[in-house]
Structure 1
Amino acid sequence: METLLNKNPVREALGVGDIEFVLCSTSVYQALLMDWMRNLETGIPALLEDGIKLLVYAGEYDLICNWLGNSRWVQAMEWSGTKEFGASPELPFKVSGSEAGLLKTYGPLSFLKVHDAGHMVPMDQPEAALEMLKRWTEDSLSKTRVELESLVSSM
């Protein structure tokens, strides 16, 4: 991946100039150290109350940010939709006709456990990760690509 992303034609297409891609940037790591071990969940309920969408996702084999721990803090978070989120079903997240994960969503809050992925979901499941981001930004995370295409074609 680093070799591909550092080829001149790819960097030109991405418009990044001479910036070299590195898998784990020490500069980014250093910049984020102030957020290390801070409880950022305390500010999230206010964002949800304002209708700001939040997607929390984790690979089912992630040992660093395990899906179960993430699922539990999301479920325990106190906001006006706590009960409804807790009662909402886990639905299959399908990509290209196959189940790529399990999705739980209510209002602006979504939690997705991505199957067969570890800490680096986009590297382990690139198609599922791309589809997750596309649907989330399109506000259609719980719909499949086929449902979206048929919706558009019926307009």
Structure 2
Amino acid sequence: METFLNQNSVRDALGVGGIDFVSCSPTVYQAMLVDWMRNLEVGIPALLEDGIKLLVYAGEYDLICNWLGNSRWVHAMEWSGQKEFVASPEVPFEVDGSEAGVLKTHGPLGFLKVHDAGHMVPMDQPKAALEMLKRWTKGTLSEAAASEKLVAEM
């Protein structure tokens, strides 16, 4: 990935000039240390109340931001749709006919546990990560799961 992204033709196409791509930049890491271990969840309910869509995802083998801890704070977060979110079913997140994860959604909130992935979901499961991002940005992340659920209920 780094070799590809550091090709001059790719850098030119992305418009990044001579900046080297690194998968885990120490410069970015140092700049983000001020956010380390801060509870940023406190501002999220207001965003949800305003209809801002939020997708929280985690690889099932992530040791840094484990899926269970992420699932717990998402479920415990107080907002007007909390009860409905907690009660909503988990449905398979399928990519190319195979289960790539487990998805839970209600209103603007979604939580996705990605199978066979660690902290770097896009590196571990690039096809699933791309499909997740494409569906989420199109607003169809839960629609595919909902239609699969309806077929399963027939």
Runs of 5+ unmatched residues, structure 1: 148-155
TM score, norm. by length of structure 1? 0.91
**For 1:89-128, what aligned pairs fall within 5 Å after superposition?**
89-128=89-128
Question: Secondary structure of 1:135's partner?
Answer: helix
Question: How far off its partner does 1:57 sit?
Answer: 0.2
Question: Secondary structure of 2:4's partner?
Answer: helix
Structure 2 counterpart of 1:62, one-letter code: D
**For 1:25-36, what aligned pairs fall within 5 Å after superposition?**
25-36=25-36
Distance in 1 (alpha carbons) for counterparts of 2:130 and 2:71: 21
Question: Secondary structure of 2:52's partner?
Answer: coil
Runs of 5+ unmatched residues, structure 2: 148-154
* Aligned residue number for residue 3 of structure 2: 3
Structure 2 counterpart of 1:136, one-letter code: W
Distance in 1 (alpha carbons) for counterparts of 2:127 and 2:142: 16
Question: Secondary structure of 1:79's partner?
Answer: coil
Determine whether 1:16 maps to 2:8. Answer: no
After superposing the two structures, state which structure 1 stretch, 134-143 or 124-133, moved more: 134-143
Paired residues in the alignment total: 146
Q: Deviations over 1:20-62 (max 9, x none)?
A: 1011111111111111110001111111011111100000011
Question: How far off its partner does 1:77 sit?
Answer: 0.4
* Aligned residue number for residue 56 of structure 1: 56
Determine whether 1:41 maps to 2:41. Answer: yes
Q: Which runs of 4+ in 1 moved over 6 A?
A: none
Q: Deviations over 1:81-139 (max 9, x none)?
A: 00000000001101111110000000000000000000000000000001111111111
Distance in 2 (alpha carbons) for counterparts of 1:139 and 1:31: 32
Question: How far off its partner does 1:143 sit?
Answer: 3.3
Distance in 1 (alpha carbons) for counterparts of 2:112 and 2:22: 27
Question: Secondary structure of 1:72's partner?
Answer: helix
* Aligned residue number for residue 85 of structure 1: 85
Percent of aligned pairs sharing the same letter: 81
Structure 2 counterpart of 1:36, one-letter code: W
